[in-house]
A and B are shown apart, each in its own frame.
Chain A
């Protein structure tokens, strides 16, 4: 009887120590699921999902507070990837948050810009350069197309322009769908 108690309590202590050691040694900083979700999101930081950026949205999804269909820039691809990752049912994009559109960037009409710096403050990726009372310009390579700079502009000099395809970004089109029925023979 005593031996059994001793053995069990020794085992309990040993495993307790092991667990305690493991929890310190293999501690995971942050939630890895959030990182995985964040890696799928398009990082436009546009806030159309209703959160302050892609990371907060990822946190909300991981916490189960947000649906996976609130990201218009990501569109169907992101919804499918999130559904796959989280084992949730894919749903169509929630229209409340906006429509999925082609890639765009913004451009400042430099003739009209008054140099108020409001757009610089609004840009989530610091893609606008300029100084007070100096002309501003958008670094197109860095622009994510979030359009957050447009509402603050007092003179409406920021315009959305679609990103045009060039030889480097061109993709082969998907071949037309396969016929399910043989074509009718031409009697001639």
Chain B
């Protein structure tokens, strides 16, 4: 039965340039002497290193663990010694460095102990997802979203169709085509694992009709496989059919809602290379440490696909394919439509590196941007049904609210609008600029809200402290008053007691006074008188002596 196909709006017919890199089989590239493994090769939070500098690691050993839910681990792609955990250049349009684990290879390429899954069908889907997560598998199509999350239908969701994306619509890139041609069994087996994890009813593998060989190989493999749930569909070659939403539209006629996910309409889309990586993990226990990379472009003598260890520097890939640096204008990671120029070729291959494109110098001159003439061609080709012209005006005027009103975030940055623009306006760059600015504003806003809460708490704390201090003071005063009153009465009692005692003593003394001089005889009185006179004389004599001296 022939599968009915639909069309998505817009899109372009582009010259594929795919034959260049399809003439030779993919070969493994010699492992480099040093691999650089960025902690973030996926969407989400970076992984956390679990090795130390100087530690020996084996090939396939986990060297950084997932830090959050949306995160996956990183594994050593060869055996050797960890020589650094530091900031290194990574493939990113900013050219900024990020934390990487650097391993000096010992050349032995010694594997760690691997744990293949013998019977995945007996496994619980959540355990299966965990195996896939621990293997560090992310979407290999380009975005790098952790695969285990996309293998979780979530509560209440029923997956009707699981789509394997083998469209590979961007010119020059052939890594998926080569993989489908060479390892169709791996892809089919991986697809069945994914189907089991998702409980999907039906599977479709979509291949563009310019990849005849890949399609034939897959169909042959499917005949051997005898799996009745899998359908292989050839779709017309049109850019960007490989976009998730566009592919779903072509295959099913359904549209993914704006700001929605395919899962909202019962569909999940994975890349063919991701399925192959899943099967490698299940079959042999190997984590994701290598991938197919297309090295192509007019500035490369023998364009071809290479099986490359993650962490290999770009320069080594290019040199393995007869790269001519003097003829190179620019090296892109990705294709000519969505790729970005590399500032440094020391950057390593990461999980999402699908293509290195060396563009030659003798290309037609890049035209400077001219004013928009409102021809509307961009609107005709936009596959997301947006109004690129309006988005351009608002992004240029930094009117980001308005740009969002025109669904800026539904833009898939495919580059069709900029490709057809007769004024050569770098439209996609405007949208990327607007998107990142909006995210930055969002971050600032969150930070400001956080600061406001902290400041409010700070003030509340000061106020509370002030009140507590006042309360304490008040209590102390009260206590002081009370005790003072008490002391007064006590002191009065003491004083009274003392006075009473004094009075008693006084009265006693009065009673006792001069008892020895009462009732004296005549003789005694005369004796006293004599003594008194003598004392008088002595006193006078003393004062006289003092006056003389």
Contact = CB atoms under 8 A, between A and B. Distances in A.
Interface stretch (B177-185, B437-445, B482-490): B437-445
Contact of A43 (B96, B368, B369, B455): B455
A108 B440 CA distance: 27
A38 B92 CA distance: 36
Contacts of B430: 174-175
Contacts of A173: 433
Contacts of A123: 458
A172 B93 contact: yes
B426 A180 contact: no
B118 interface: no
Contacts of A63: none
B505 interface: no
A111 interface: no
B454 interface: yes
Given A43-B449, A167-B92, A172 B458 contact: no
Given A167-B92, A180-B371, A175 B426 contact: yes
A167 B440 contact: no
Contacts of B448: 41-43
B426 A166 contact: no
Interface in A38-86: 38, 41-45, 53-55
B474 interface: no
B433 A169 contact: no
A117 interface: no
Contact of B433 (A43, A172, A183): A172
B159 to A, nearest CB: 32
A158 B90 CA distance: 33
A178 B372 CA distance: 9
Contacts of B528: none
B451 interface: yes
Interface in A104-149: 123-127, 142, 144
A168 B22 CA distance: 36
Interface residues of B, number: 38
B436 interface: yes
A30 interface: no
A179 B461 CA distance: 57
A102 interface: no
Given A165-B96, A178-B371, A172 B452 contact: no
A49 to B, nearest CB: 14
A63 to B, nearest CB: 20
A144 B448 CA distance: 8
Given A178-B425, A179-B368, A180-B371, A167 B96 contact: yes
A54 B370 contact: no
Given A42-B444, A43-B452, A171-B437, A125 B429 contact: no
A53 B462 CA distance: 15
Nearest to B456: A55
B30 interface: no
A166 B369 contact: no
A26 interface: no
A133 to B, nearest CB: 21
The 9 closest A-B pairs by CB, nearest first: A171-B436, A43-B451, A43-B448, A125-B454, A170-B94, A172-B432, A172-B433, A43-B452, A175-B429
Interface of B: 40, 90, 92-94, 96, 98, 368-372, 396, 423, 425-426, 429-430, 432-433, 435-437, 439-440, 443-444, 447-452, 454-455, 457-458, 461
Interface of A: 38, 41-45, 53-55, 123-127, 142, 144, 165-167, 169-176, 178-180, 182-183
Given A127-B454, A175-B425, 17 more contacts: A43-B447, A45-B455, A55-B455, A125-B451, A125-B454, A125-B458, A144-B451, A167-B40, A167-B92, A170-B436, A171-B437, A172-B93, A172-B429, A175-B430, A178-B423, A180-B371, A182-B370
14 contacts: A38-B452, A43-B451, A43-B452, A126-B458, A166-B96, A167-B40, A171-B439, A171-B440, A174-B430, A175-B426, A178-B369, A178-B396, A178-B423, A179-B370
